[in-house]
Amino acid sequence: METITWHDFEKVELRVGTILEVADFPEARKPAFKVKVDFGPFGIKQSSAQITKHYTREQLVGRQIVGVINFPKKQIATFMSEFLVTGFADENGDIVLASVEQKVPNGSKLI
Per-domain boundaries in the chain: 9-97
Q: What local confidence, expressed as pLDDT, does residue 11 receive?
A: 95
Q: What is the pLDDT of residues 1-40, one digit of tens each?
A: 999 999 999 999 999 999 999 999 999 999 999 999 999 9
Q: What local confidence, expressed as pLDDT, does residue 20 receive?
A: 98
Q: What is the Cα–Cα distance from 28 to 13, expressed in whole angstroms?
A: 26
Residues 38/83, Cβ–Cβ less than 8 Å = no
We find that the CATH architecture of domain 9-97 is: Beta Barrel (2.40)
Cα 25 to Cα 77, 82, 89, distances in angstroms: 9, 15, 20
